[in-house]
Amino acid sequence: MEQGIAIPHAQDATINRSAMLVVRLQQPVEWQTFDNQPVDTLISFLIPEHDNGAHLHYLSNTAKLLTHQSFIKQLKAAHTPMQILTLFKE
């Protein structure tokens, strides 16, 4: 992605159920992004090996949210897990 955000995802037999993790790094890391900027926020999807495709819905919705500058600003300003959770539930 861009603007300091990456969306890594993994699908593996050791994953029992789908999950989404949001990680804010203390120090940005180099990452291959569209804007060639370091990444400080990871939105990661963990997907079981045999999945019904539901994760594609979450991945698509997340990508849509990240097209809105206001959402990105709120995500970057969030300080607690509950604030981040609320942003994704809205």
Task: Point out the residues that are catalytic.
Answer: 9
CB 18 within 8 A of CB 48: yes
Alpha helices (H) along the chain: 54-65, 69-77, 81-89
Say which residue the tokens 């539901």 belong to. 54
Torsion of CA 75, 71, 82, 8, to 10 degrees: -60
CB 8 within 8 A of CB 42: yes
